[in-house]
Structure 1
Amino acid sequence: MSIKFRLIIMNFLQYAIWGAWLISLGAYLGGDLAFSGRQIGSFFATMGIASLFMPAIMGIIADRWIPAQKLLGICHLTAAVLMAAAAPQTAYLPLYSLILCSVMFYMPTISLSNSVAYNALSKAGLDTVKAFPPIRVWGTVGFIVAMIAVDLLGFTKSSMQLYFSAGLSVILGAYAFSLPSCPVAKKVKNQSWVDAFGLRAFALFKQKKMAIFFLFSMLLGVSLQITNAFGNDYLTNHFGNDPTYAGTFGVEHANILISLSQISETLCILLIPFFLKRFGIKNVMLISMCAWVLRFVLLGAGNPGSGVWMLVLSMLVYGVAFDFFNISGSLYVDKETDPSIRSSAQGVFMIMTNGFGAFFGSYAAGEVVHRMGWPVSWYIFGGYAVVVTILFALIFKYKHNPEASI
């Protein structure tokens, strides 16, 4: 079995685990459990809380002590047990606590799986910028397949989505131990305590270019979980309670409508090597930011009836919004850092995007929704994205060399 195919299986399962509940959880929480907007936001903030420190800790462990592929397996198996324990809970505190604990072990696996892939591709003598996107696209396919399966199986508004996710985690947890071994850093005598504890990646903040890049990664990361937290709830419950839209496809099968976002991703991931080569990381990030603006505005203006075309268009631009930021940013960090801190550098990127960004974004979005309601909240999110775009264009300095790999 070729290394590319083995990594495709890894990526498919990695994101199928997330897709099984990430988009549909809001509908379950806001529907059968009748949780408030603030409470729903808090569940999606768990990913931010986990990403504040767990990717960095696991990245350091992978760089220093336990090979990344083994740590990947351990994290998935632990997350599976905790997610299965969360599934039967209906009260806010126990459900929230167990999902938080499960997410603590899932979120590091995103950067760990990237490190495993980059290491395996490098060992095979392949260019990661060219070889990784066609492999990573299968992660999006896995996300889509899981979303649609949850919808068609009738799990969208039930805890079965959590059991489904846990089962997939067990499969990947076992499979991870068969992946190519990732080397750990060799011990060096008389090394500093920073090196001894694997904290060298945080020295990247001393570089002005990287510090600014990480800062804007955090600001753009605020947008990442907003539609995941409220998109399904918005379509299923907000429009579902309006007789005008009762029975429409967008209300009855919101997961399938939203899956257009991930279908768009599959194409956009494949475009990343071309866009990075042609336009450079700054312009690619700016394209992503503009797409976020369009995404939010179209959600606010559309509806499942005569305005469904705007909802569809909003889903399609998501591929550009997400991939041109998240995947391109990960590749940029990999190219700008030494292989000896590959896993921990990816962990730092995760801290800024899915950590601080998602944490503040989820709670802030929950407060905005609670106070402003729909669809005004979408326009507020769009205005925020406009401000971030303008600031990034003015502050981040990057001279693109089309002859370089990024």
Structure 2
Amino acid sequence: MNLKIRLILMNFLQYAVWGAYLTSMGRYLGNLGLGTHIGWFYSMQGVVSIFMPAIMGIIADRWMASQKVLGLCHLIAGIFMIATAYYGYTAGTDTQFGIIFTLYSLSVAFFMPTIALSNSVAYFCLTDAGLDTVKDFPPIRVFGTIGFICSMWFVDIMNFQIDQNQFITSGILSLFLFLYTFTLPDCANVKEGKQKTLAEAFGLKAFALFKQKKMAIFFIFSMMLGVSLQITNGFANPFIFSFGADPQYVSTFGVQHANILISLSQISETCCILLIPFFMKRYGIKNVMLIAMFAWVLRFGLFGLGNPGNGVWMFVLSMLVYGVAFDFFNISGSLFVDKSTDPDIRSSAQGLFMLMTNGVGATVGTLAAQAIINTYTHSEVLDGNILTVGDWPTCWFIFAGYALLVGITFALVFNPKKKAI
């Protein structure tokens, strides 16, 4: 089989594993009576991202080929994800938070490193085949997002959004990818010569960048905007489903197929990647990141104003805006780090950027969002389903207000030199 096709299949499965539950898990947890704990499940992804990718990276660098570490991680992640589903199924509404959270945490602890590992495998294979990673990897990576979307649609169409079958789907896909890694080329990353120290592996040397005012401001605001990243992944589905408590909305497409509606966000994300080179060249890093910050304001604000009936166009627009909010921040920020750091710490600096956004920022954001949502909403049983109902618009307006405040402050404080853009 052609190498690119093999890597496309790997990326498709890699993100299909994640898409099976990432946007619908909140609805399932709410149906178990754990709606007040949704934020903890999403924050755990950020917590384990702080240290697990580095640990697995050390193993791949020193003792085991990358594709083998990738497979091992998916094996363990898949087993624990299926165990999570089994416990949720057998316990039902008597599910204990501590038990299901522990099983889930063990699964994501081994899944999160696979994102970087799958990239490493693709880079190694392409380079080994004499191909250009800059040119050939992005089209391959797009199929990861396609896999994510396909998985979301499958879970929606099969009506798995409200039960443990979304976890079973994810677990089975993980196990299938574990088997598939045996067919991948050997990525023997263990090389003679100087190996990374623990400080280098964990990216600790990059913290010296905080001595530079420009970089310190950039990383601090990256963390502050990172607060927004996982909020809609965790709470958009339960929010849209909550309209089912209102007879005029119960049969609408949005309530019945929230995952398909939300998948417009991922479709937008795929398309907006193509706009970044033009916007970066024309407007520069500061303006591109400002566009992203104000896109988050629209993302949250439109949720607060819309409904799945005659206001569904606001939901659709919110989904389309997500591509700008997510891509313009993450990718332009990554490019800024690449242009502003020395080659010897560039990888560590990228790791620090991810730590501040998807680690610290996203963890704090989901827990803070959970506290706000717990304040303004409550659980209500309707036709055997547990819905999270209440003053959702106020929650979304608080999130929008936060994003607006961050954006305005960023505009006033962050002033990079032209040559660093």
Instruction: Give the superposition deviation at 1:338.
Output: 7.4
Query: What is aligned with 1:34?
Result: 33
Q: Tell me which amino acid in the other structure corresponds to 2:253.
A: F
Query: What is aligned with 1:349?
Result: 353
Query: What is aligned with 1:220?
Result: 225
Asked if residue 284 in structure 1 is aligned to residue 288 in structure 2, the reply is yes
1:380-399 equivalent positions in 2, closer than 5 A: 380-399=398-417
SS in 1 for 2:322: helix
Contact 1:218 1:353 in 2 (8 A): yes
Query: What is aligned with 1:271?
Result: 275
Comparing 178-187 with 145-154, greater Cα deviation is found at 178-187
Tell me how far apart the structure 2 counterparts of residues 251 and 200 of structure 1 sit (CA, whole Å): 43
| Shift in alpha-carbon separation, 1:264–1:252, aligned structure 2, 3 A | same
The size of the alignment, in residue pairs, is: 395
Query: What is aligned with 1:377?
Result: 395
Query: What is aligned with 2:170?
Result: 165
Instruction: Give the superposition deviation at 1:380.
Output: 0.7
Q: Tell me which amino acid in the other structure corresponds to 1:79.
A: A
Contact 1:55 1:347 in 2 (8 A): no
Comparing 381-390 with 344-353, greater Cα deviation is found at 344-353
Instruction: Give the superposition deviation at 1:15.
Output: 1.2
Tell me how far apart the structure 2 counterparts of residues 335 and 361 of structure 1 sit (CA, whole Å): 28
| Shift in alpha-carbon separation, 1:270–1:73, aligned structure 2, 3 A | farther
Query: What is aligned with 2:380?
Result: none
| Shift in alpha-carbon separation, 1:341–1:83, aligned structure 2, 3 A | farther
Tell me how far apart the structure 2 counterparts of residues 214 and 36 of structure 1 sit (CA, whole Å): 32
Q: Tell me which amino acid in the other structure corresponds to 1:375.
A: P
Contact 2:52 2:109 in 1 (8 A): yes
Query: What is aligned with 1:25?
Result: 25
TM-superposition CA deviations, 1:39-92 (whole Å, max 9, x none): 111111111221222123223433444443332222111111110111022312
Contact 2:8 2:143 in 1 (8 A): yes
Percent of pairs identical after alignment?
Answer: 59
Q: Tell me which amino acid in the other structure corresponds to 1:227.
A: T
Query: What is aligned with 1:308?
Result: 312
Contact 2:280 2:332 in 1 (8 A): yes
Q: 1:48 aligns with which of 37, 46, 65?
A: 46
Query: What is aligned with 1:10?
Result: 10
Instruction: Give the superposition deviation at 1:357.
Output: 1.3
Instruction: Give the superposition deviation at 1:228.
Output: 0.9
TM-superposition CA deviations, 1:72-118 (whole Å, max 9, x none): 22211111111011102231221111001111111122223233334
Q: Compute the TM-score of the two structures, normalised by the length of structure 1.
A: 0.88
| Shift in alpha-carbon separation, 1:323–1:184, aligned structure 2, 3 A | farther
TM-superposition CA deviations, 1:301-340 (whole Å, max 9, x none): 0001111100000011111111222344445556666788
Asked if residue 249 in structure 1 is aligned to residue 253 in structure 2, the reply is yes
Tell me how far apart the structure 1 counterparts of residues 60 and 406 of structure 2 sit (CA, whole Å): 33
Contact 2:296 2:403 in 1 (8 A): yes
| Shift in alpha-carbon separation, 1:54–1:318, aligned structure 2, 3 A | same
Comparing 118-127 with 334-343, greater Cα deviation is found at 334-343
Tell me how far apart the structure 2 counterparts of residues 272 and 119 of structure 1 sit (CA, whole Å): 26
1:118-129 equivalent positions in 2, closer than 5 A: 118-123=123-128, 124-126=130-132, 128=134
1:80-229 equivalent positions in 2, closer than 5 A: 80-90=78-88, 91=95, 92-123=97-128, 124-126=130-132, 128=134, 130-177=135-182, 178-179=184-185, 181=187, 183-184=189-190, 186-188=192-194, 195=197, 198-199=200-201, 201-207=203-209, 208=212, 209-229=214-234
Instruction: Give the superposition deviation at 1:219.
Output: 1.7
| Shift in alpha-carbon separation, 1:180–1:293, aligned structure 2, 3 A | farther
Tell me how far apart the structure 2 counterparts of residues 379 and 212 of structure 1 sit (CA, whole Å): 26
Q: Tell me which amino acid in the other structure corresponds to 1:36.
A: G
| Shift in alpha-carbon separation, 1:179–1:351, aligned structure 2, 3 A | farther
Comparing 130-139 with 369-378, greater Cα deviation is found at 130-139
Tell me how far apart the structure 1 counterparts of residues 412 and 121 of structure 2 sit (CA, whole Å): 35
Tell me how far apart the structure 1 counterparts of residues 282 and 338 of structure 2 sit (CA, whole Å): 19
Instruction: Give the superposition deviation at 1:2.
Output: 4.5
Instruction: Give the superposition deviation at 1:345.
Output: 5.2
Instruction: Give the superposition deviation at 1:389.
Output: 1.8
| Shift in alpha-carbon separation, 1:383–1:147, aligned structure 2, 3 A | same
Segments of structure 1 that go 5 or more residues without pairing to the other structure are none
Q: Compute the TM-score of the two structures, normalised by the length of structure 2.
A: 0.85
Instruction: Give the superposition deviation at 1:172.
Output: 2.1
Contact 1:302 1:309 in 2 (8 A): yes
Contact 2:206 2:352 in 1 (8 A): no
Query: What is aligned with 2:75?
Result: 77
